Chain A
C-alpha cells in the first residue's frame, strides 16, 4: 500500500516540476495576434496534461527499477500476476473520455481562431519561388493598387489573406501570429490574422519549395492604423510617380514579383545572373555560344526563360511569369538603368 502512496505523491510532485520546467524554458515566441490567444491557451492545457501523463508513467517505472530490483542471490521469479480486468477497462475508458474531451476542446479552439470579421482588409498574397508578393486593396480614388514584397498591416484589425502560388506549394507563417496556411497553385487558400502587437516580424515559407526555401522570407510590419494609412499613401504616390516612366514601371514590377530573390542589382552572385551591368554585355550560354544581352535577349529571357540558359546556371529553373509585352519592355527598361 505504501508503494502506491509514495508513487502517488511523487507523481504529483513530478507533474508540477515538469510543468514548471516546460513553462520556464520559454518555448513559445511572443504572441502577437488574436489567433495566438486560443492557441497558446490550448497549448498550455496540453503542457499540463503532458506533464501529468509523463509523470504517471515515468515515476512508477523508475520507482519499480529501484524498489523492485532483483536482490542479489535471489533466483526466483516474481509474483504471478496476469492482469486486472477492472484496471484494464479503467485505463481504456478514462483515456477515451479524456481524448474525446480534448478533441472537443480542440474543435472549439479551432473555431475561435477562425472568427470572421466581415470588414477585414483583403490582401492578395502570391508565393513564387522564392519570394512573396502582396497586393493591397485598390485605392478608390485612383484605382491604383499597391503591390509590394512587404506585408504592412494595421494593428487591431483583421486582415484576410487570399493566397495562391505561381509554381509549387508554399506556406505562409509568422511564428508570432501562430496560424499557418499553405499556398497551392491553382486554388485560393485563405488565412485570417488580427495582429495585436506592433512590431517588425518576418514571414518565412513553411513548405519546402526548392533550393532557396530557407531564404524565402519577407518583412511583416505591424503599425498603428494611422501609420499604415500613411505608408499606403506613400506607396501609392511612389507607384504613381514610377508608373509614369517605363523604368519606374519596370522597377515596380521587379520589386512586386520578387526578382531580387535570384537576381542581384549590385553584382553580387546569386541563384540567377546579376543584372548589374548586364545590358549590352557579352553573355556565355550553356551551349557554349556567346550572345550580346540586348533588349531582344532580355525580353526573351523573361518571356521564355528556358530557351537560352546562361553557363553555370543550368540547374536553376526560372519560372515563367506570364507578363505582357508592355510589362516586359518596362522591366527591360529598368534593367538598362543598372550600370
Chain B
C-alpha cells in the first residue's frame, strides 16, 4: 500500500485520537464508577493509547506499528474482559478494581496485549508460515523512504536505526520525568508535588515515586535498546557479514521492546509504583497495579536483550569474513561478545525475580513474604545476580566504542589490543561474582560481605587495563578532535570518575555510610554517562555518515558537547556531595536543616542544561538526515571495512566480499592494509 501520509497528518490525528480516547475512557469510567474522574487513570490511559496509535495511523496507515498498537489495545481489552468474565462466573468479590479491571485482569490483559502486538506488527508472519510448512523468501525487500522504519524489516541496518530511535525516544521521556522531579527537588519542602496534588490517582509524593522509578527503568531500557542499536548496526558490517545470523529473530527482538515500553508507560496511569526500578518486596508486593505493568514490561524487554545477544554471538562466531581470526577482530566485536555473554544468561534472573513477585501478588505464593516463611533478601540475591552484570552490559559496548574510535582519531594502533580485548571478557566474568555489594546493609550473612568486597575491587584491574591502554594510545599520537572524538574523550573522563568512586562503595565499612545516598546516584550516573551516554553520542556522530551519506553539523555537535559535559560534572559532583552530607536516595523532599538547598538548585539547573544539549542533538540529528553536508566517502579515514565502501551502504552491505589481510589498527605502518576486497585481488 502506497503510503502518502505526512507528519502533519500524524500530529493532527494524535490530537484527535487523544481527545477521543480521553472521552471514551471518561465515559467508561463514568459507567463503572459513577463519577467523572477528569484526572483519573482510565481516561488518561485511553487518551494516551489512542493518541499514540492515531499518530502512527496518520503517519503510516494501518500497518506495521499502527496495526501492532491497535492489536495491543484490543488484545489487552479482550484479555482483561476474559479474566473479568471468569471472576464473575466464579463469584469473586472484586470483579472490577480501582482501575476498572482487577489486577489479575490487567496482568493477563497486558500479556495478551503484548502477544497481540507481536502478531499485529507482523514480525512472526514468516515463522507462522514455516510452522505450517510454507517456505518464505530469505530476503524481504524494504519499501523506499522512511516508511520502512515503522514496519518489520529484516535488514540489520534498519533494525539498528529502529532500536536507536526508540532508545532516543525513551531517553527523551525518561529525561523529561527527571526534569520534572528535579524541579521539585530544587528546593526543600514540597513545591508542586504536594500531598493535595492529585494525578492518575496518585498524590504528589506518590507521583514522585512513580516518576523517579520510571526514570530509572526507562533509562535502563533505553540503554539496552541503544547498545542493541549500535551492535546491530555495526557488528555485521564490521565483520563482513551481509546481515545478522538470524534476521527474523533480530526483528522480533526489536519489536518486542515496543509493547514493553507501552506497558511501562501504562504503569504511570494505573496507580504508579513506589519501589524504584529495583522493585524490592515486600513493598513491591503491596504496591498498586502499576507495579505489575512495570514487572511485565521489564520481563518483556528482557526478551529483547536475550534474543539480541544470542544473535550477536551467533553472527560473530559463524559469519565473519575470511581471515578474520580472533586476534584480528575489531575491538568493538570483542566488547559486543563480552556484553552478549552477560545479556544472554544473566537477564533471565531479573525475569525470574520479577515473575516470583508477580506470582506472590496474584496467587499468594509467599516467596518473599516473611509471614509465609518467605525470605525478602532472596529477592535481592536473584535480582542483583542479573542487575550487577547488567551494568557491565550497559558499559562494555561503550568502552568498546572508545577503543574502536581512538585509533582513528589518534592515527596510532590501539595500545595493547590483546589485553584490551581480554579485559572486556575479564570484566564480564568477574562481574558475575560481585552482586552482593548492593546488599551490604541488607541483613544477609555478615561475613559474606568480605568476599564480595574482594571480588568487587578486583573488577578495577581489567578496567584499569583499559584506561591505561587508552592513555598509551593517545600518547605520542597525532590527535584530532571532531565531535565524535570529543565525546570519546568526555567518556573516558566521566567513566574515570565513575570508576574511581567505585572503591569507596566496595569497601564495606565506607559503604555503610554511602549506601542508599546520593553518592551512589552520582557514582552510577558517572559510570552510565561515561560508559554509555557519551560513547553512544560518539557512535552516533561517528556512524551517522555511514548510515545516511551525510554528516551531522560540527558546530552544533560541539555545542552539544561543551554544554553537556561541564553541566554533567556539576550534576554528579553535586550529587556525590549532597549524598555524603546526608541526602538519601529516592526522596521527594529533604530537610532544610541539612543545608543542601543551594546544591540542589545548582543540580537542577545543570540537569536542564543537559536536557537542552540533548534537544540540540535531536534537532541536529533530524535536520542533518535531509540537509546535512554530504559525506559519502571515508570521512574519518578509518581502516575499518565499512568505511572502504561508499555511504550509505548497499542493502546487503558489501557487493564484493573482503578478506582480512592485516591487523585492524596498524595506523602508521606503511603499506599495511586491514582488508582487501576480492575484486582487488590479483588472480
Q: How many residues of B contact A (CB 8 A)?
A: 98
Interface code B259-282, partner A: CB below 8 Å = 1, 0 otherwise? 000000000000100111000101
Chain A residues numbered 149-192 whose CB sits less than 8 Å from any CB in chain B: 167-169, 171, 173, 175, 178-182, 184-187, 189
Which of B392-400, B538-546, B666-674 participates in binding chain A?
B666-674
Q: Quick one: which of B375, B417, B475, B587 contacts A83, CB cutoff 8 A? A: B417
List A contacts of B418 (CB < 8 A).
83
Tell whether A211 pairs with B474 under 8 Å between CB atoms, given A169-B280, A184-B443, A185-B376: no
Q: A211 contacts which of B209, B507, B517, B580 (Cβ < 8 Å)?
A: B209
Looking at the complex, which one of A64, A179, A205 makes contact with B512 (CB distance below 8 Å)?
A179
A317 touches B443 (CB 8 A): no
Mask of B491-502 contacts with A, CB within 8 angstroms, 1/0 = 011001100110
Given A61-B493, A206-B515, A208-B586, do A46 and B477 touch, yes or no (CB 8 Å)? no
Q: Which residues of A contact B201 (CB under 8 A)?
A: 314-315
Chain A residues with CB under 8 Å of B376's CB are: 169, 184-186
- Within 8 Å CB of B493, what residues of A? 58, 61
Residue in contact with A68 in the complex, picked from B205, B476, B516, CB distance below 8 Å: B476
Known contacts A39-B510, A102-B507: A91-B476 contact under CB 8 Å: no
Assess whether B667 is in contact with A77, with CB atoms less than 8 Å apart.
yes
B288 within 8 Å of A (CB atoms): yes
Check: A265 CB closer than 8 A to any chain B CB.
Answer: no
A87 touches B472 (CB 8 A): yes
Interface residue B139 (Cβ < 8 Å from any Cβ of A): no
Interface size class of A (residues with CB under 8 A): 35 or more
Contact B203 A110 (CB under 8 A): no
Q: Is the CB of A211 within 8 A of B274?
A: yes
Given A99-B457, A208-B586, A211-B206 in contact, is the A180-B513 Cβ separation under 8 Å?
yes
With A54-B500, A99-B460 known as contacts, the answer to whether A77 contacts B479 (CB < 8 A) is: no
From known contacts A180-B441, A185-B370, infer whether A80 and B668 are also in contact, taking CB-CB under 8 Å. Answer: yes
CA distance A74 to B478 in the complex (A): 9
- Name the A residues within 8 Å of B203 (CB-CB): 211, 315
B35 to chain A, nearest CB (A): 9
Minimum CB–CB distance for A141 against chain B, Å: 35
Task: Give Cα A187–Cα B442 distance, bound, in whole angstroms.
Answer: 11
B669 and A80 contact, CB distance less than 8 A: yes
Asked if B492 contacts A61 (CB within 8 A), the reply is yes
Q: Cβ of B257 < 8 Å from any Cβ of A?
A: no
Say whether A187 contacts B370, CB under 8 Å: yes
Q: Which of A23-31, A231-239, A276-284, A289-297 contacts B (4 or more CB under 8 A)?
A: A23-31
Question: Which residues of chain A are near B271, meaning CB under 8 Å?
Answer: 315
Q: Is the CB of A77 within 8 A of B512?
A: no
**Does B195 count as interface, using CB distance less than 8 angstroms?**
yes
Determine the chain A residues whose CB is within 8 A of the CB of B516 once the complex forms: 171, 173, 180, 206-207
Q: Is B85 interfacial (CB 8 A cutoff)? A: no
Contact (Cβ within 8 A) A269 B196: yes
User: Contacts A61-B474, A78-B411, A206-B515 known; A214 to B98 CB distance under 8 Å?
Assistant: no
Residues of chain A within 8 A (CB-CB) of B475 are 60, 64, 68
CA distance A168 to B369 in the complex (A): 10
| Bitwise interface map of B from 383 to 416 toward A, beta carbon under 8 Å scored 1, else 0 | 0000000000000000000000000001111011
Nearest chain A CB to B42's CB is how many angstroms away?
A: 15
Please name all residues of chain A whose beta carbon is closer than 8 Å to the beta carbon of B410 when the two chains form the complex: 68, 78
Would A270 and B195 be within 8 Å (CB), given that A38-B509, A68-B478 are in contact? yes
A213 contacts chain B at the CB level, 8 A cutoff: yes
**Is the Cβ of A57 less than 8 Å from the Cβ of B507?**
no
Q: A53-B500, A61-B492, A91-B465 are in contact. Are A106 and B415 (CB under 8 A)?
A: no
Q: Are A78 and B286 in contact (CB under 8 A)?
A: no
Interface residues of B in 585-606 (CB under 8 A from A): 585-591
1/0 per position for A130-150, CB-CB distance to B under 8 A? Answer: 000000000000000000000
What's the minimum C-beta distance from A109 to chain B, rounded to whole angstroms?
5
Q: CB-nearest residue of chain B relative to A168?
A: B283
A192→B588 CA distance, assembly (Å): 29
B66 at the binding interface (Cβ < 8 Å): no
Could you say which of A42, A70, A168 has the most chain B C-beta atoms within 10 Å of its C-beta? A168
Q: CB distance A78 to B478 under 8 Å? A: yes
B633 / chain A contacts, CB cutoff of 8 Å? none
9 contacts between A and B (CB under 8 A): A50-B500, A50-B503, A60-B475, A69-B480, A77-B411, A91-B465, A113-B509, A175-B582, A186-B371
Query: Could you tell me which A residues sit within 8 Å of B by CB distance?
Result: 25, 27-29, 38-39, 42-43, 46, 49-50, 53-54, 57-58, 60-61, 64-65, 68-71, 74, 76-84, 87-88, 91-92, 95-96, 99-100, 102-103, 105-107, 109-110, 112-114, 167-169, 171, 173, 175, 178-182, 184-187, 189, 202, 204-215, 217, 269-271, 288, 314-315, 317
**A-B CB proximity, top 3 nearest:** A186-B370, A106-B507, A80-B668
B interface residues with partner A (beta carbon < 8 Å): 34, 98, 195-196, 201-203, 205-206, 209, 271, 274-276, 280, 282-283, 286, 288, 370-371, 374-377, 410-413, 415-419, 441-443, 446, 449-450, 453-454, 457-458, 460-461, 464-465, 467-468, 470-472, 474-481, 489, 492-493, 496-497, 500-501, 503-504, 506-510, 512-513, 515-517, 576-577, 580-582, 584-591, 663, 666-669
